[in-house]
Amino acid sequence: MWNFDATSSALLVVDMQRDFVEEGRPMEVPMARARIPQMRQLVDGARGAGVPVIFTQHVLYDSFNVSPLETANNQLLLTEGMRDGTDGIEIVDGLDARAEDHYVRKHRYDAFYNTNLEVLLNTVRGYRTVDTLVIAGTLTEVCCESTARSAFMRDFKVAFAGESTGALSETAQSATLDAITRYFGRVLSNAEILQGFTDGATEARR
């Protein structure tokens, strides 16, 4: 089993947007909202250790259907949710997203698909320095898991934040954590990730 090394890591916070998180929004995920404090711990810890923070934003359009199979599964998305140019695609205030952070706009569950994420990871800390992706956010069983599998296929080590991901149910959460542990990476607690960030910052100063 590989070791978690923060000096070659990046933190990816998946789809923590207002339309996914806030009460009454079209794609509300209560578990994701409840875990904002845990996610904020990771964001703050990453910043303090010099680990890049990347936010994804799932974006749909009114002018045409950019994700037709997604909207076929959930027809609500034909008319509302994560619309370009609306506050629904904004990252929730509780995570303190900043201009100096990095942002990836996507139209599929997998944050690597037709986005700049892989190029960003291969350059953000120097040429191919990042080999580990810490994944937090929502939905655990959809975009987080799809992105984790895609990262694994690209030979990135996957550190999946079990306490800082939010699913639609505890059953779905457990199923994804089991799949990641068995096949695609390591499920780590916040304490393990934060300790890794601290150790990495200490090592970088030597």
Domain CATH code at residue 122 = 3.40.50.850
Is 1 among the domain residues? Answer: no
User: How far is the C-alpha of 88 from the C-alpha of 160, rounded, in Å?
Assistant: 25
Phi, psi for residue 34 in degrees, rounded to 5: -65, -25
Q: How many CB atoms lie within 10 A of CB 79?
A: 11
Would the pTM count as exceeding 0.85?
A: yes
Looking at the domain assignment, is residue 42 inside a domain? Answer: yes
How many structural domains does the chain have? 1
Check residue 199 and give its pLDDT.
Answer: 85
Tens-digit pLDDT profile for residues 40-72: 999 999 999 999 999 999 999 999 999 999 999
Q: At what angle do helices 36-49 and 190-205 cross, to 10 degrees?
A: 10
CA separation (Å) from 98 to 56, 90, 131? 13, 12, 24
Average pLDDT, the chain: 96
What percent of the chain stands above pLDDT 90? 95
Q: Residue 28 falls within a domain, yes or no?
A: yes
What range does the domain containing 17 cover?
Answer: 6-205
Taking residues 13-23, what's their average pLDDT?
98
Residue 1 pLDDT level (bands cut at 50, 70, 90): confident
Q: How do strand 9-14 and strand 132-138 relate by DSSP bridges?
A: parallel
